[in-house]
Amino acid sequence: MRRIWLLALVGALAVTLSSWGKKKKEEETQVLQLPKDPPTAITAETRRLVFQVTPLSGKGLLSQQTRDALKWLLHSANGATIVKLRAFVAGSGDLRRVRDLVSETFTEHKLALPVLSVIQVGALPLESAQVVMESTAVAKKVANEFGLVYISGQGATGAQPFEPVLPLARQSLARVETAVRAAGSEPEDVLRVTCFLSGLDQYAGVRGLVESHYGGAALNFVQIQRSPAHSVAECEAVARLRWNTGTAMHMLNPAGLAPSPQVSQVALIGAPQVILTGSQESFGYQDADARLAFERLQKSLSQEGGSLRQVAFASMYPLSSSISAQVRKIRSEFYDQARPPAETMLPFQGLPSMDAGFAVDVVAVKE
């Protein structure tokens, strides 16, 4: 009887250990399944690009808000394929979590990953909101028959850090309107407007002003830093091109907008395809570090058949004014100075890597 009892006990232990070992193996396998990295560059058809901005939410922390934003985008895509995401994150959450959640969500839905830029900002215009996302997607049908217009950030600044931003926003939008008209487009052709502000105290007035001009566009508003050095309102825009330029890329510097030898104010893209990149970070603060960032960006573009000399629009995310000066010096080594790209460059709060000095992402034509 005792022998039977011992055999039963040994059998039970064997089953338990086998089950525990199997469970442990499954847990270890789950831990090792790391999220996929987003691609560094994607080629997309210019005529079918469409733009969205996620609604703000104050529910939960960064992870929940990111999941909710992605759910909204996938639900609202109407069959369009999302190819680029730009996430602006406020608060103290880990920015790398956004990348992981984008990878997990798209993988779960068996969708190709988009290129991704994640930037930390000072604040968003809703209490407890921690993330807002801009989406660029390829629609099933032609949305922009002749191509797209990218307009550089049109900045208006004040000498003091806490000057009201509404008068500055009026100046910025007047310059955006000049750029839209110079491109041959109309206000109803504007597809997305992003306004970078030094403060959000007058957000309702600024939003109402933008909506009165571009009510049909996807709109986004962010405070660039928690404690900006000066007051600023700088709005950039993407619009539908209304005419056949006959060229892949044409740059404009309309009268009434500040000329610059290093930046064009308006880029007209007539090329059938564009290359969209995620953000490339500069790891470190020396000139050599900045050059490496542009060289890595060049490599990403070349893998898609593009080049930094074919960049139409660049977004720069430096973390200080001194780094901005460094970027201005280095970028000219890589761009076509006969037709420099349109660009927005403002100091932001942070980047996913703690040792990053700046990040850059671009839209380049593919000829």
Direct distance between the N- and C-terminal alpha carbons of the chain, in angstroms, rounded to an integer: 86
Q: How far is it, in rounded angstroms, from Cα 324 to Cα 230?
A: 15
CA distance to 37, 83, 99, 204, per residue, from 63 (Å): 18, 21, 11, 27
pLDDT in tens, 229-251: 899 999 999 999 999 999 999 99
pLDDT tens figures, 266-301: 999 999 999 999 999 999 999 999 999 999 999 999
3-state SS of 296-311 is HHHHHHHHCCCCHHHE
The H-or-E segment that residue 343 falls in is: strand 342-345
Helix (H) or strand (E) holding 164: none
- Nearest to 321, CA basis, from 173, 194, 161: 161
Supply the pLDDT for residue 31. 52
Reported as a single tens digit per residue, the pLDDT across 311-367 is 999 999 999 999 999 999 999 999 998 999 999 999 999 999 999 999 999 999 997
- For residue 229, the model assigns a pLDDT of 87
The SS3 call for residue 325 is helix
Arithmetic mean of pLDDT, 130-134: 98
> Rounded to the nearest 5 degrees, what angle is found at the Cα of 163, between the Cα atoms of 162 and 169?
120
> φ, ψ for residue 170 (rounded to 5)?
-60, -45
**pLDDT value at residue 33:** 66
Confidence of residue 25 (pLDDT cuts 50, 70, 90): very low
- Determine the pLDDT at residue 15: 42
Q: Name which residue leads in pLDDT, 320 or 4.
A: 320
pLDDT at 2 over 50: no
